[in-house]
Amino acid sequence: MEKAPVLAIIGGSGLYSMAGLQNVQEYALETPFGRPSAPVVVGDLEGQPVAFLARHGLGHPISPSEINYRANIYALKSLGVERIVAISACGSLREDYAPGEIAIPDQLFDFTRDRKRSFFESGLVAHISVADPFCPDLSTQLFEAVKATEAVTHRGGDFITIEGPRFSTRAESNVFRGWGMALIGMTTSPEAFRLARPRSAMR
């Protein structure tokens, strides 16, 4: 690979490949945390190298709780990736966020229970700031790019990640709505804020 990817895309449910990539190469990587969900695909998009990884594996064989989030992020980092856009199929807890629309959240609430949450273990301790779990600069660029396509796009909102693979009950959803959550899904934690934290959190 001549040049590190300028961006990585993590595809969620239903998104197992990326259209438009040219000169594609696949990387079946091993990491200290095991194998990622699928080979990382790197290709040229509009003249820029871009990486793609199917979060649930090809054909969706991996459930949200079984995803090796650490291996996925480590594999992308090993290819030189510094910025990630992760796509998730999610539910809305607000009437003004309708099905089929795109939301770019700015806060995250982790309600999962059974996942590895950090690269730091076995005698290596580090404390990180995750007050702002998503990169504001990348979020702004993403919002402007999506809005330019005339898709209905929302900027901001609190995203709660539940364990899965089941959906929430009505009672649970009502509680989450009462907490002020806007979106609900199964894969954004710990992927975003404990493994792929934004540059603004790095010190």
Half-sphere exposure of 186 (CA within 13 A, CB side): 18
Q: In this predicted structure, what is the pLDDT of residue 86?
A: 95
Domain chopping of the chain, boundaries: 1-87, 90-203
Q: Report yes or no: 170 and 118 within 8 Å, Cβ to Cβ.
A: no
Q: Report residue 143 as tokens.
A: 């919002």
Report if pTM > 0.85.
Answer: yes
Q: Is the peptide bond before 190 cis (omega within 30 degrees of 0)?
A: yes
Q: Report residue 150 as tokens.
A: 């005339």
Give the model confidence (pLDDT) of 164-197 as tens digits. Answer: 899 999 999 999 999 999 999 999 999 987 566 6
CA 45 to chain centre: 20
Could you tell me which residue, 48 or 122, shows the higher pLDDT? 48
Q: Tell me if the domain spanning 90-203 has CATH number 3.40.50.1580.
A: yes
Give the model confidence (pLDDT) of 53-81 as tens digits. Answer: 999 999 999 999 999 999 999 999 999 99
